Amino acid sequence: MEKIKKGVRLDHISKIYQDPKTGKEFYAVKDTSLTIEPGSFVTLLGPSGCGKTTTLRMIAGFESPDEGEIYLGDEPINELTPNKRDTAMVFQSYALLPHYNVFDNVAYGLKLRKVPKEEISERVTRILELVELGGMEGRMTNQLSGGQQQRVALARALVIEPSVLLFDEPLSNLDAKLRVTMRTEIRRIQQEVGITAIYVTHDQSEAMALSDQIIIMNKGVVAQMGTPQEIYYHPADEFVADFIGEANFLRGSLIGREGGYLTLNVEGNPLRVPAPEDEVPRQDYTVVLRPEAATLADEGGLPCRVVLSCFMGSYQNYHVMVGDTLVKLEEHNPKNKRIYQVGECCSLVFDPESVHVL
Amino acid sequence: MARGQGAALDRKKLMADPIMVTTIVVLITFLTLFILYPLAILLVDSFVGDGGFGFSVFQRIFSMPTFTRAITNTLKVGFVVGILSSLIGLLFAYVEVYVRMNKFAGGLFKVVSMLPVVSPPFVLSLSMIMLFGKAGIITRFLFHIYDNNVYGYWGIVIVQTLTFFPVCYMMLKGLLKNIDPSLEEAARDMGASRMKVFTSVTLPLMLPGLGNAFLVTFIESIADFANPMIIGGSYDTLATTIYLQITGAYDKTGAAAMAVVLLCITLAMFAVQKYYLEAKTAATLTGKASRARMLIEDKSVKIPLTILCSLGALFVIMMYICVPIGACFPTWGYKFFPLTGKWFAQVFTKYHGLKAFKDSFVLSLIASPITALLSMIISYLVVKRKFKAKGFIEAVSMLAMAVPGTVLGVGYIRGFSGGLFHTGILQGIYGTGLILIIVFVVRSLPTGTRSGISALRQIDKSIEESAYDMGADSFKVFMTVTLPLIKDSFLSGLVTAFVRSITAISAIILLVTPSFLLITVQINEFAEKGAFSLACAFATILIVITYGAVLLMNLFIKRFGTSRSIKED
């Protein structure tokens, strides 16, 4: 498997679709430029209709971009048909060939490449062991569980040793527990093989668990690209903050600035927070507060009133009103802590360094 | 916004696939040459036929009382047959889906749904005449009625209804099964009687489907040639009038114009059925039934309905059985015993039966794989691929469904007897077996395509995409993935094409030359001459052949077809 790893580059890619009902044209993907490093695991994450699957299918060659050029390594691949591209896709529905058994499914791509018979059998056996399906060669695909079918699909894609592995929501047909197991598997195998992988999902925890880099897409454009930590702690905008994890937004107007810090008026209370990096000075700011970053106390923070207090086992779930703003928070390990009841007035306390200011 | 680059890239990708491009070009040529062109030439002929462009030909045919009468006759028959067939079909479908039947009645239903598939579409006319005609077994020898006239309006209506209602029955059965039983249970639960549930829930849900069945039968009835030919007597319909105009009056432009009129009627019906009713049916009955229906056990409903339907079914079966028995009477109408095999012997000794069966068999055998393969390719292109001419291919192959055989026959005469546009090009195929094969293919293509399309729609698009992604080109994808997955549909398409071809008559009768003897044409000839025993003998052998083909197919599918487990997936 000594192959030069290749990255993928999208250069000002757009794809235009026509609404079948109104006949109106719209951008499914708009002027998107991306560089995916060789050997990295990158996730395209976003709500449905954000253009993530279209982007993936353009890389695979099923859709043709209306603007821009796609590069695999240094080679432009716009004009190549899917069968000529050095990519392999794992489909949401697995897309196994139902009239073939496991061995023939995995061997399909190798047979098309006219690989000698002995080598096929050797490579298929090796790859099936990698995905932990050794000994299942003779099974028909419909005799396999969902998780096993997904492993076959993965093996089939891996065995042809593509430069890039593409995943189109491969785990969404599995139940919750299996999803978690399979995603660790996928990550392990990708690391072992060292292949470039592009993974489409709408499940943020999947994206977090798998990726070196997450690309968040919204309405056909890239909202943010970064490591999971960057995206969680430093979301580029409210959409990203809201889409990844839970977020509370506290609106504040500027009342003072000093060093790297701003003092904002939040619902009538002064709040001192770190200033955003390379910001344009303005009047209004938004403070992003994660639910686990705050706690309730009798005093010492923003005054608030409890409107929901609910025991969830590992944490106590609170909704509090800070003025007219609803803030949700999670008090973890609540066993020996004071529990505030609905209607109580108290104080919302958090470390200014743990918030992100937009 | 400019979608230019994407379209250009799609085109380039398509061109990188020479087999695919060739296939598309060949298909378009075939469809244009053998479906569009013959219809176009009819239009040309009827507008410029009698010297100069104008409506003179139409004026001429509309001034013929025989023609205007034929139009009213055709519509009258079609309308009544449509209504009767869909009602009887609904009754049968309702009883099968809603009422708990015993095994015997269930078996009868199966036979009834099967018979029209394996028999030539006009054998009922023969048995009608033999049972109820002037010298009919029932009318004359049972009831001693000596002047019963089966020829004419009622003859056609009864025979066509009996022939076409099983089609309605099968269509409506599928729809009824899709009604979610909880809808009706909810109505029952609110206090509606069984009758009320039927009139207020089941029937309204079925209305578009009923309309659909009505129109399908209407079109079939209008396009039917052989039944009116055999049992119509002096009651002419459009199809028979056109035939007589061309074979009797040698008025080719007049026949062309008449064919245009007939085509316009069926096309209009077809458009309503396809674009209005089919969509509506799908809209009201989409959901799968959530669970099994509680069958009606109530004896006051069950017994009369079962008896009524069983008697109906028995009657139809008796009509069919009459054909082989009729072939064994020594002299039909006078002497019924002892049964004899002499007519069967005469078929082969005196009337070139062997040649007729060989010709029909060989031509159909050549046509059916071509049809099956073509229709699978068309379905694949229509369902799975994106390219510009796709709409054209789909529309033209569906259009063929609305073209009555007689119209196609006249179109081929006008289109090919003098070569393309009367220039002599391709004239060579006229009068050969090749043109007969092409007619067979064109006539069966729409059915095959429709079944192929519905089979392919059930296959997840990503299965083919995955093969494509793995490195297979279109041809490989089609051969290694698509075709194996729709093997059942392909096999049944093969047999359907064979059966339809070997039992076809309407277009063929206009194109066949003396060098080819076709069974259906022979049957028609003997029936017209009144040699019913011979016609029956031919028909019996034909039914045996087609039934054998269907049996063979079922055996084949059971053994080599897609395994059940895959379908359940």
> Which H or E element spans position B382?
helix B353-384
Dihedrals phi, psi of B59, to nearest 5 degrees: -60, -40
- B72 burial level (CB within 10 Å; 0-12, 13-18, 19+): exposed
Token pair 């219809």: residue: B39
Contact status of B564 with chain A (Cβ, < 8 Å)? no
SS (H, E, C) A273-298: EECCCCCCCCCEEEEEECHHHEEEEC
Query: What region, left, alpha or beta, does residue B273 occupy, with left being phi > 0 and alpha being psi -120 to 50 degrees?
Result: alpha
Residue B466 to residue A97, Cβ atoms within 8 A: yes
* Candidates B13, B470, B476; nearest CB to A81: B13
pLDDT of residue B288: 56
Q: Do B60 and B131 lie in a common domain?
A: yes
Give domain status of residue B334, yes or no: no
CATH of the domain at B561: 1.10.3720.10
How distant is the Cα of B164 from the closest Cα of chain A, in angstroms?
37
The residue among B325, B351, B373 that closes a domain is B325
Q: Do B321 and B347 lie in a common domain?
A: no
* Average confidence (pLDDT) over B146-170: 86
User: Domain range holding B295?
Assistant: 45-325
Residue A25 to residue B3, Cβ atoms within 8 A: yes
- Cβ-proximal residues to A240 (8 Å cutoff; 6+ apart), any chain: A216, A223, A224, A231
Residue B13 to residue A61, Cβ atoms within 8 A: yes
Residue A91 to residue B481, Cβ atoms within 8 A: no
Least confident of B63-72, B80-89, B186-195, B273-282: B273-282
Chain A residues inside the 8 Å CB shell of B10: 64
pLDDT of residue B102: 80
Q: Do B555 and B438 lie in a common domain?
A: yes
* Average confidence (pLDDT) over B107-114: 82
Residue A78 to residue B9, Cβ atoms within 8 A: yes
Residue ranges of chain A whose pLDDT lies below 70: 1-3
B436-457 residue pLDDT tens: 999 999 999 988 888 888 888 8
Is residue B309 helix, strand or coil? helix
Contact status of B475 with chain A (Cβ, < 8 Å)? no
Q: Do B308 and B413 lie in a common domain?
A: no
The residue among B293, B325, B357 that closes a domain is B325
Q: Do B210 and B271 lie in a common domain?
A: yes
User: ∠ CA(A79), CA(A82), CA(A86), 5° rounding?
Assistant: 95
Q: Is the pLDDT of residue B567 over 70?
A: no
- A119 burial level (CB within 10 Å; 0-12, 13-18, 19+): exposed
Residue B1 to residue A61, Cβ atoms within 8 A: no
Report B:340-369 residues touching A (Cβ under 8 A): none
Contact status of B248 with chain A (Cβ, < 8 Å)? no
Nearest CA in chain B to A25: B1
* Average confidence (pLDDT) over B89-99: 88
Within B478-562, residue ranges assigned H as helices are: 483-485, 487-503, 508-511, 519-529, 532-560
Task: Report which of residues A128 and B278 the model is more confident about.
Answer: A128
- B385 burial level (CB within 10 Å; 0-12, 13-18, 19+): middle
Nearest CA in chain A to B487: A99
pLDDT of residue B420: 79
Give domain status of residue B332, yes or no: no
Chain B residues inside the 8 Å CB shell of A16: 1-3, 6
Judge contact between B498 and B548, C-beta under 8 A.
Answer: no
Q: How confident is the model at residue B564 (pLDDT cuts 50, 70, 90)?
A: very low
Nearest CA in chain B to A160: B470
Give domain status of residue B104, yes or no: yes
Cα B177 to the center of its chain, rounded Å: 23
Q: Is the pLDDT of residue B117 over 80?
A: no
Alpha carbons B476 and A273: distance in angstroms, whole number: 63
* Average confidence (pLDDT) over B548-562: 77
Q: Do B28 and B83 lie in a common domain?
A: no
- B483 burial level (CB within 10 Å; 0-12, 13-18, 19+): middle
Task: Report which of residues B246 and B284 the model is more confident about.
Answer: B246
Give domain status of residue B333, yes or no: no
Contact status of A112 with chain B (Cβ, < 8 Å)? yes
* Candidates A83, A87, A98; nearest CB to B485: A98
pLDDT of residue A221: 92
Return the closest-CA partner of residue B357 out of B126, B533, B117, B538.
Answer: B538
Alpha carbons B326 and B331: distance in angstroms, whole number: 9
Q: How confident is the model at residue B568 (pLDDT cuts 50, 70, 90)?
A: very low
Helices and strands (DSSP H and E) totals, chain B? 29, 0
The residue among B325, B351, B378 that closes a domain is B325
* Candidates A79, A91, A93; nearest CB to B9: A79
Can you state the angle between helices B103-118 and B299-326, rounded to 10 degrees?
40
Nearest CA in chain A to B481: A97
pLDDT of residue B398: 83
- Look over chain B and give the mean of its residue pLDDT values, rounded to a whole number: 84
Task: Report which of residues B539 and B139 the model is more confident about.
Answer: B539
Give domain status of residue B346, yes or no: yes
- Let me know how long chain B is: 569
pLDDT of residue B200: 87
How distant is the Cα of A87 from the closest Cα of chain B, in angstroms?
8
* Candidates B462, B470, B485; nearest CB to A88: B470
Residue A99 to residue B470, Cβ atoms within 8 A: no
pLDDT of residue B234: 84
Q: Do B373 and B305 lie in a common domain?
A: no
Chain B residues inside the 8 Å CB shell of A107: none
DSSP one-letter string for B150-193: -SSHHHHHHHHHHHHHHHHHHHHHHHHHHS-HHHHHHHHHTT--
Q: Do B536 and B457 lie in a common domain?
A: yes
Nearest CA in chain A to B569: A142
Dihedrals phi, psi of A98, to nearest 5 degrees: -70, -15
Give domain status of residue B126, yes or no: yes
Give domain status of residue B331, yes or no: no
Nearest CA in chain B to A87: B469
Chain A residues inside the 8 Å CB shell of B481: 97
Residue B3 to residue A66, Cβ atoms within 8 A: yes
Residue A221's beta-bridge partner residues?
A: A218
Contact status of B484 with chain A (Cβ, < 8 Å)? yes
Sheet strands side by side (includes A164-168): A87-90, A164-168, A196-201, A41-45, A213-218, A221-226
Q: Is the pLDDT of residue B490 over 90?
A: no
Q: Do B1 and B147 lie in a common domain?
A: no
Contact status of A23 with chain B (Cβ, < 8 Å)? no
* Candidates A15, A83, A89; nearest CB to B6: A15
Can you state the angle between helices B153-178 and B299-326, rounded to 10 degrees?
130
Return the closest-CA partner of residue B394 out of B403, B404, B385, B406.
Answer: B385
Contact status of A67 with chain B (Cβ, < 8 Å)? yes
Contact status of A19 with chain B (Cβ, < 8 Å)? no
Q: Do B315 and B354 lie in a common domain?
A: no
Residue B4 to residue A156, Cβ atoms within 8 A: no
Q: Do B149 and B125 lie in a common domain?
A: yes
How distant is the Cα of A286 from the closest Cα of chain B, in angstroms?
35
Chain B residues inside the 8 Å CB shell of A66: 1-6
Is residue B196 helix, strand or coil? helix
Judge contact between A55 and A44, C-beta under 8 A.
Answer: yes
* Candidates B10, B465, B569; nearest CB to A98: B569
pLDDT of residue A283: 86
Judge contact between A132 and A191, C-beta under 8 A.
Answer: no
Q: How confident is the model at residue B50 (pLDDT cuts 50, 70, 90)?
A: low
pLDDT of residue A307: 93
Q: Do B49 and B33 lie in a common domain?
A: no
Give domain status of residue B335, yes or no: no
Alpha carbons B47 and B53: distance in angstroms, whole number: 5
Residue A95 to residue B460, Cβ atoms within 8 A: yes
pLDDT of residue A2: 52
Return the closest-CA partner of residue B438 out of B360, B361, B371.
Answer: B371
Contact status of A235 with chain B (Cβ, < 8 Å)? no
Neighbours of B479 (CB within 10 A): 11
Residue B463 to residue A96, Cβ atoms within 8 A: yes
Work out how many domains chain B is built from and give that number.
2
DSSP one-letter string for B58-119: HHHHHT-HHHHHHHHHHHHHHHHHHHHHHHHHHHHHHHHHHB---HHHHHHHHHHHHHHHHS
Chain A residues inside the 8 Å CB shell of B5: 64-67
Judge contact between A192 and A26, C-beta under 8 A.
Answer: no
Task: Give all domains of chain A, ordered by start, each with its CATH number.
Answer: 8-241 (3.40.50.300), 246-357 (2.40.50.140)
* Average confidence (pLDDT) over B61-65: 86
User: ∠ CA(B179), CA(B447), CA(B310), 5° rounding?
Assistant: 50
Nearest CA in chain A to B384: A62
CB pairs under 8 A between A and B: 109
Residue A112 to residue B463, Cβ atoms within 8 A: no
Q: Is the pLDDT of residue B47 over 70?
A: yes
